Structures are given as structure tokens and as C-alpha cells.
Structure 1
Amino acid sequence: MGKLMKIFKILENIFLSEHTKKRIEKVILYVALISFFIHLIIIGLSKFDIISLFPNSELLLNPISAIYTPFSFILIYEVYLLIYYLPKSFTIYITKQYEIITLIIIRKLFKDLSMLELTSDWFDIKGDLQFTYDIFASLVLFFLIFHFQKQGNRKTEKKNKIGPMVERFVKRKKIIAIVLVPFFFVLALSTLIQWSSEISFSTEVMPSFETINNLFFDDFFTVLILVDVILLLISFFYTDKFHKIIRNSGFIVSTILIRLSFGVSGIVSTILIIVAVLFGLLIILIHNEYEKNNTL
């Protein structure tokens, strides 16, 4: 048992320490910056016909679309932060899910900006219409996430002293987080290898943009649903309070709605994402009202 605890502490220090977080943040920022300039150079070389690499790709037609690449690496860091905060705060963990899906929409906006057709037929052009949906959705999600964080902080401020049962629950969440860090790293690497194998340099065919935009994150949110279910089941050992069970169950529903948004496109996808975050906000609002009544 002592050896297992020692291994657990070593792995926790490797994957979930503040030092590791800062190192990963620094590396990701450097990689994001370098990738941005590489993307810009490729676009420039393609524009002057120095190279001919996927001439029909939406990501190589305009310098604005180069912002898409560094945002992809920032999203990877957000995935790590989600796992990092899982043992520390359940509400921050859920907030990170909402932030990730919002950043995916923002990332797509940069691609859409480079493809806009500024004409009087704005609402008849599919690309321009999707840009309108996404820019509106990003504002709504930003507003909803702000209030979700506000409600989460309010709950944290009223938290009582941590007891032994809560400590055991946190320890189990740390075990899940320690397993998730290398798992998501392997998942990201295998997804990149699989996507690269689908690229045909001979015919200059690249996977569709929808495939690229959903790359990794459709699998990522599928795994998150399973993690949320595991957390819900483990929580039954530590609480039988109705409002806690409904809160945790509601967050699973919210994550499922986000995952479903990857299977559709257009306004349906946007509506699913907004409904998912709005549902999560309503769940935590009602939960906090229960908490308030229990303290009276």
C-alpha cells in the first residue's frame, strides 16, 4: 500500500503539479507562435506559386485563416487545464468544457472570416450565414459561461471545511485525472497520425474542413461523458443529497448535448451548444438555491 501511495504521489507531481502546468503552458505558447508563422509562410508561398500544396484548402487561401493553427494548440492546453482542475473543483472542470467548445467556435470564426463574401445577399450565402450564427453563439456562450463561473464561485465561497469523505472523493478524482493526462496525449497523437494518413499528396486532396474542425474533440467529449458518469457513480458513495445527484446528472446531459453537436452542422449544431451551456447554468442556479435553503 505504501508503494502504491508513493507511485501515486510521483504521478501526481508529474502530471498535475503547478510546475508541470506552467511548463506545459510555456511549451504550448511557443509551439502556437511558431505554428502561426509556419502557416503564414505556407500561405505566402502558395500565393506566389512557389509551392502548390492543397490549393483548394480553405485554410490556405487567406492569411487570416493562419490564426486557426495556434488556436488549435491553445485548445490542447485547455484540455490539459480541464484535467488539471478535475480534482480541485467540479464546477471549474465543467466550466473548462464550456470554454473548450466556445474556443472551437471562435477558432472556426477565423476560418469563416477569411471566406466571407461581402455582398447584399448575405443571408443567402451559406458561409456568411454560418458566420452570423457562430459570432452570435460566441457572444451568448461568453455571457452564459460568465454567469456559470459566478455561480460556481458563490458555491466555493460558502464551502465548509473539507472532511475525510470529501478528501477520499478528491483522491479518487486525482486518480482519474492522472489516468486521463497520458490517455488524452495518446488519443491526440493517434488522431493526428490517422488524419495525416488520410491526406493524399499525390492528388492534393485534403479532408473536409468539418473533419478537421471536429478532429480529436468528438472523441474527447465522448470520453468526457464516460468520465462524468464515473464521477456520478463514485459520488453516490459520499452523498445521497437529491440536489447533488441532479446537478451531476445535469452536467452529464450538458456534455452529451455538446458531443451531439459534432454530429450535425449549421444552425442545429450551434443551437445544441447554446442549449447545453444554458442547461448547465440553470442546473447550477437551482442547485445553489437548494444549498442556500439547506443553510437557513
Structure 2
Amino acid sequence: MNLFNKLYQFFLSDYAKRRIEKTILYAALFGFFIHLILIYLSKFNIVNFHLESELFKNPISAIYTPFSFILVYEVYLLIYYLPKSFTTYITKQYEIITLIIIRKLFKDLSTLKLSSDWFNIKGDLQFTYDILASIILFYLIYQFEKQGTIKSLLPDENKSKVERFILRKKIIAVILVPIFFMMALFTLLNWTSGISFSSNNLPSFETINNLFFDEFFTVLILVDVVLLLISFFYTDKFHKIIRNSGFVVSTILIRMSFGVSGLVSTILIVVAVLFGLGIIIIHNKYEKKHLA
């Protein structure tokens, strides 16, 4: 247990959080300027990379890189809040998928074709869907977080059971930190090894945008299922079980969005967050009814 406490402090203490936050911020700034330099080297033909990727055509698309680092930090925060608050943990899932859409918007801004045929151009139309979805998601997350701050109105569960449940969540969180960082590192190395600047060999943008996060949400589904099963040791209340099961369904819907593209992907993401919001609203109303 002493080893576990040391690992928890090393990975998930407030000091570790501040250290990781600062490191990722510096990496984001460094990545942003490197991306800008590559764009201008290519633009002024100082160095010919033979790249036709949309990410290397416009300086605006350089914002894509620091947002990728911000997303890595959001992944860490998701794990950080897992033992502390289950609803905050779910909120972070929703924030991550929303930031993925926002990140994509910066790339799309650099390739917009402003014309009277706006709604006939596939890229411009998808930009419209994504920008509307980001506003809707922002509002839904606000409402979800608002509902999540409502404390349980029913009598507290057995204190020892609560402490055991929190301990199990801490164990899961400690295991997840190295797993996700290794996943991110492996994904980055695997992707960069397949790049060839001399032969215009770059993965498609859809592949880049989904990089790491399709596997990430697959693992999250497994984690959510484990948390659901563990919660049965903590409570047998119907509304709690339905709430936790609903969050698993919501995560699955988000994961499914990576398997499709265009409007269908955007709709799946909005439906996933809307479903999670509906679940927590009904859960809170259920508690109020049984308290009366």
C-alpha cells in the first residue's frame, strides 16, 4: 500500500498535475512554432517537403498542433478527476470530444472556400455542421456540469463502502496514467515513422484527426464497464445503476463516431452528450422524488 501511495502521489497529486500542466504547455508552444516554421519554409520554397497536406498550407492550421497537446492534458485531467468525482470524469470525456471538433475547425478554417455555393461544397458544409455542434456541445456540457454539482439528497451510503470505492478508483487511475501516456507515445512514433517528406506520404486528415482517440475511447469504454461493475459493491440503488450504465452507453456512442465521418459522426457526438445529460437530469429528479 505504501508503494501504491507513492505512485498515486507521483502521477496524480496536485504537484504532479501542476508539473504535467507546465510541461504540456511548453510542448504546445514549441509545437506551434515548429509547425509555423514548417509552413513558411514550404510556402517560400526555402525547403521543399513535397507535402500537399492541408495542415501545411495555411498558418491558421498551425493552431491544430497546440490543440493536440491540450487534448493530451485533458486526457490526464480525466484520469486525475476519476477518483475525485465520477460526474467530473464523464464531463472530461465530453470536453475532450468537443475539443477534437474545435481542433478540426481550425484546420477547416484554413481551407474554406467562400462562395455563393457554400452549401454545395462538402468541406464548407461540414464546417457549418461542426461549428453548430461545438456551440450545442458547449451548452450541453454546461448543463451537465450544473447537474453534476447537485449533491446526493438521499442518506449517505456506508462510509467504509464509499472509501473502498474511492480506493478502487484510485487504483484504476494509477494504472491508467502510464497506459495512456504509452499509448500516446506509441501512436506518435508509429505515425511519424510512416511519414515521408520526399514522397508526399502523409496519412489522410481523417486518420490524423482520429489518431489515438479512437483507441483512447475504446479503453474508456472498458474502464466505464469496470467502474459500473465495481459500483454494484457500493450501491444497489436502481437510479445509480441506470446512471452509470447510461454513461457507458454515452461513451460507446462517442467511440462509434470515430468509425464514421461527416454529418453522421457529428450527430453521434451530440446525441452521446445529450443522452448523458438526459440520464443525469432524470437521476437527480429520481432522488428528489424519493426524498419527498
**TM-score, normalised to structure 2's length?**
0.97
* Shift in Å, 1:206: 0.4
CA displacement, residues 148-182 of structure 1 (integer Å, 9 cap, x when unaligned): 00000113698858711011000000000000000
Query: 1:82: which partner in 2?
Result: 78
After TM superposition, list the pairs within 5 Å mapping 1:35-74 onto structure 2.
Answer: 35-74=31-70
Is 1:167 the equivalent of 2:159? no
**1:24 matched to which residue of 2?**
20
SS of the residue corresponding to residue 92 of structure 1 reads helix
Q: Residue 70 of structure 1: CA displacement? A: 0.1
Q: Which runs of 5+ in 2 are unaligned?
A: none
Counterpart of 2:149 in 1: which secondary structure? helix
Q: Name the structure 2 match of 1:92.
A: 88
1:104 aligns with 2:108: no
Post-superposition offset of 1:204: 2.0
Deviation at 1:295, TM superposition (A): 2.2
> Aligned partners of 1:53, 1:85: CA distance in 2, in Å?
42
Q: Which moved more, 1:236-245 or 1:156-165?
A: 156-165
1:253 pairs with one of 237, 249, 252: 249
| Aligned with 1:211 (options 207, 211, 223) | 207
CA separation in 1, counterparts of 2:155 and 2:220? 26
Aligned residues: 292
Note the residue ranges of structure 1 that are not aligned, 5 or more in a row: none
C-alpha spacing 1:156/1:212, structure 2 compared with 1 (3 Å):
farther
Moved more, 72-81 or 192-201: 192-201
Maintained 8 Å contact 2:36/2:59:
yes
Deviations 1:210-260 (A, max 9, x none): 000000000000000000000000111111111011000000000000000
Structure 1 residues 159 and 10, CA gap change in structure 2 (3 angstroms): farther
Q: Distance in 2 between matches of 1:240 and 1:156?
A: 15
Say if 2:154 and 2:291, in contact at 8 Å, map to a contact too: no
For residues 150 and 232 of structure 1, what CA distance do their matches in structure 2 show? 23
Q: What one-letter code is carried by the residue in structure 2 that aligns with 1:170?
A: I
Could you state the TM-score of these two structures normalised by the residue count of structure 1? 0.96
Tell me which of 246, 254, 268 is aligned to 1:272. 268
Q: Is the 8 A contact 2:49 2:198 kept in 1?
A: no
- After superposition, the C-alpha distances for 1:241-293 in whole angstroms (9 at most, x for unaligned) are 11011000000000000000000000000000000000000000000011112
Match of 2:259 in 1: 263
2:188 pairs with one of 186, 192, 201: 192
SS in 2 for 1:236: helix
1:178 alignment partner in structure 2 = 174
Comparing 147-156 with 194-203, greater Cα deviation is found at 194-203
- Against the structure 1 CA distance between its residues 45 and 156, is the aligned structure 2 distance closer, same or farther, given a 3 Å change threshold? farther
Q: Equivalent residue of 1:269, what SS? A: helix
Aligned letter for 1:61? Answer: K
Q: Is the 8 A contact 1:251 1:280 kept in 2?
A: yes
Could you tell me how far 1:294 is from its partner in structure 2? 2.4
Alpha-carbon offset, residue 53 of structure 1: 1.6
Q: Which amino acid aligns with 2:251?
A: T
Aligned identity (percent) is 73
- Equivalent residue number for residue 293 of structure 1: 289
Specify which of 223, 237, 241 is matched with residue 237 of structure 2.
241
